């Protein structure tokens, strides 16, 4: 039996190593006669397609296991162990690529560019966690996302963040999502990948500034639970909305809530909602007036933010390589820049007309104008809806995990006395039998 296991493990190791080796050879570097030195890559080396499908299968398996652990087994320790395994596999072994967060940009580019096709595995990575969220809540955040896991590991002394501040800071994630979609849709840049604060840790290389940003996030994460997930993650924003309509979700207690308040401060992410108090008729009338004002304010906010997005097009369009090149060429042509750059020299070597380049840059800037309206309008809509939601009356009779904010980490399970009673009963039943 042991020999059989050794044979299986040996064959698996051989299969994996041969696949990685042939992945390297897929793109042999060309030989240059000019003495050009190949730069060392900062992104993971290409792999065989079959290994990308294996990654997708691992994602499916981990999501399924995490759903079982969160919703049926209800054990924080097991969820944490699974998240550490995910951190090592998707983070350090796969070097954070492909990740569903970055896949947002591929999907956005494919929607706006008919000549771009998203790799199927990237699409699987984008869709699978969302489908799981629709049924089981934010399982991906709980035990699969390596970015979440690395922040969970450093969480030492969680401090609660006031709800108004949390809501305000979360607006950044919406702006980041809108900006990521805008820049990806215009073919300018994949900013989520470029400004990923933890990728330097996973790849043990990368931009020094991003390394510093990652260290800052981890330092803040020691006192404020998962700051990137809560205030910056664009994929988390999509999952927040989908988890509102999920079929099953985390329940703090396996039984009826006895309102013992032991779980009240157990969530480091501020996702536990306390029972609401009844409103007085005066409060109710006051709030009704506020709601009417906010609804009237909605189109104003959408329009004004849209206009700001449009007005920012000279700045935002500079993210596009063609616009930057056109700017550089213009400065050189008008004598405002004395030295040429590699990019401008390469452009001149193509023999293309400068006027054509300027026209192309203007077209791109016009695209950014339209995109700016949509980007700004979306941000305005989010702000307006947030204000409306904050002024709506909520009715809760039990302590419950917030539908959108709960990361399904399972910390609150351990605080519920009903949970302990249930486990004790289950253990006694097993002992008796």
Least distance between other proteins and beta carbon 273 (Å): 16
Measured at the CA of 99, the angle between CA 53 and CA 123, to 5 degrees, comes to 55
Nearer Cβ to other proteins (6/57): 57
Q: For other proteins, give the closer residue by CB, 78 or 319.
A: 319
Compute the least distance from the CB of residue 113 to other proteins, in Å.
Answer: 9
Please state, in angstroms and rounded to a whole number, the distance separating the CA atoms of residues 39 and 64.
40
Q: How far is the CB of 187 from other proteins (least distance, A)?
A: 7
**Is the CA virtual torsion 117, 102, 187, 306 positive or negative?**
positive
Closest approach of Cβ 216 to other proteins, in Å?
31
Closest CA to 359 of 328, 337, 326: 326
Specify whether the CB–CB gap between 180 and 319 falls below 8 A: no
Q: How far is the CB of 267 from other proteins (least distance, A)?
A: 23
- Residue labelled with tokens 């041969």: 18
- Tell the smallest beta-carbon distance from residue 41 to other proteins (Å): 11
Of 12 and 359, the one with the shorter C-beta distance to other proteins is 359
Question: C-beta of 289: minimal distance to other proteins in Å?
Answer: 23
Say how far apart CA 411 and CA 152 lie, in whole Å: 11
* 125 vs 228 by CB, closer to other proteins: 125
Residue 400's SS3 state is strand
Instruction: List residues near other proteins by CB under 8 A.
Output: 27-30, 32, 107, 109-110, 114-118, 120, 123, 127, 130-131, 134, 187, 242, 245-247, 321-322, 325, 343, 346-347, 349-350
Q: What is the DSSP letter of 337?
A: -
157's CB contacts (< 8 A; 6+ apart) are: 222, 223
The answer to whether the CB of 155 falls within 8 A of the CB of 228 is: no
Q: Kindly tell me the burial class for residue 360, based on how many C-beta atoms sit within 10 Å of its own C-beta (0-12, 13-18, 19 or more).
A: middle
> CA quadruple 239, 241, 242, 244: dihedral positive or negative?
positive
Spatial distance between the Cα atoms of 392 and 385, rounded to a whole number of angstroms = 11
Q: How far is the CB of 240 from other proteins (least distance, A)?
A: 13
Q: Quick one: 71 or 305, whose CB is closer to other proteins? A: 71
Q: Is 139:116 a contact under the CB 8 Å cutoff? A: no
Q: Confirm if 422 and 254 have CB atoms less than 8 A apart.
A: yes
What are the two backbone dihedrals, phi and then psi, of residue 400, each rounded to the nearest 5 degrees? Answer: -140, 155
Closer Cβ to other proteins, 128 or 271, answer by number: 128
Instruction: Give the shortest CB-320-to-other proteins separation in angstroms.
Output: 8
Report how far residue 144's alpha carbon sits from residue 152's, in angstroms, rounded to the nearest whole number.
Answer: 12
293 or 346: CB nearest other proteins: 346
Residue closer to other proteins by CB (options 120, 293) is 120
- Minimum distance from CB of 48 to other proteins (Å)? 15
Adjacent-strand bridge partners of 143: none
In the bound state with other proteins, the residue whose beta carbon lies nearer, of 324 and 423, is: 324
Comparing CB distances to other proteins, the nearer of 114 and 429 is: 114
The DSSP call for residue 153 is H
Q: How far apart are CA 206 and CA 218, in angstroms?
A: 17
116 CB neighbour count, 10 Å cutoff? 12
């Amino acid at each position: 039996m042991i020999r059989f296991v050794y044979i299986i493990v040996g064959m698996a190791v051989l299969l994996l190593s041969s696949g990685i080796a042939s992945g390297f050879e897929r793109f042999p570097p060309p030989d240059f006669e000019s003495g050009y030195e190949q730069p060392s890559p900062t992104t993971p080396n290409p792999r065989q397609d079959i290994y990308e499908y294996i990654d997708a299968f691992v994602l499916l398996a981990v999501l399924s296991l995490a759903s079982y652990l969160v919703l049926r087994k209800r054990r924080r320790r097991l969820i944490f162990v699974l998240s550490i395994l995910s951190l090592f596999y998707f983070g350090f072994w796969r070097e954070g690529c492909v990740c569903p967060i970055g896949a947002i940009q591929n999907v956005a580019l494919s929607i706006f560019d008919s000549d771009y096709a998203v790799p199927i595995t990237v699409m699987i990575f984008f869709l699978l966690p969302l489908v799981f969220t629709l049924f089981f809540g934010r399982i991906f955040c709980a035990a699969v996302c390596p970015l979440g896991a690395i922040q969970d590991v450093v969480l030492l002394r969680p401090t609660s963040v006031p709800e108004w501040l949390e809501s305000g800071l979360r607006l950044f994630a919406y702006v980041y999502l809108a900006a990521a979609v805008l820049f990806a849709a215009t073919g300018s840049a994949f900013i989520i990948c470029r400004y990923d604060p933890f990728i330097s840790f996973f790849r043990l290389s990368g931009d020094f500034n991003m390394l510093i940003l990652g260290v800052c996030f981890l330092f803040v994460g020691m006192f404020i639970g998962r700051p990137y997930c809560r205030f910056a993650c664009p994929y988390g924003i999509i999952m927040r909305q989908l988890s509102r309509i999920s079929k099953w979700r985390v329940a703090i207690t396996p039984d009826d809530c006895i309102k013992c308040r032991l779980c009240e401060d157990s969530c480091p992410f501020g996702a536990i909602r306390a029972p609401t108090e009844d409103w007085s008729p005066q409060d109710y009338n006051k709030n009704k007036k506020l709601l009417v004002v906010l609804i009237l304010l909605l189109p104003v906010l959408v329009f004004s933010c849209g206009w700001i997005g449009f007005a920012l097009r000279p700045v935002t369009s500079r993210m596009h390589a063609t616009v930057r090149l056109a700017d550089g060429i213009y400065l050189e042509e008008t004598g405002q820049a004395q030295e040429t750059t590699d990019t401008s020299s390469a452009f001149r070597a193509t023999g293309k007309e400068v006027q054509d380049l300027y026209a192309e840059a203007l077209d791109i800037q016009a695209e950014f104008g339209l995109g700016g309206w949509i980007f700004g309008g979306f941000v305005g809509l989010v702000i307006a809806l947030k204000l409306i939601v904050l002024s709506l009356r909520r009715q809760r009779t039990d302590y419950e995990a917030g539908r959108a904010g709960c990361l399904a980490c399972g910390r609150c399970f351990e605080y519920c006395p009903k949970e302990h009673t249930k486990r004790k009963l289950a253990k006694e039943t097993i002992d008796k039998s």
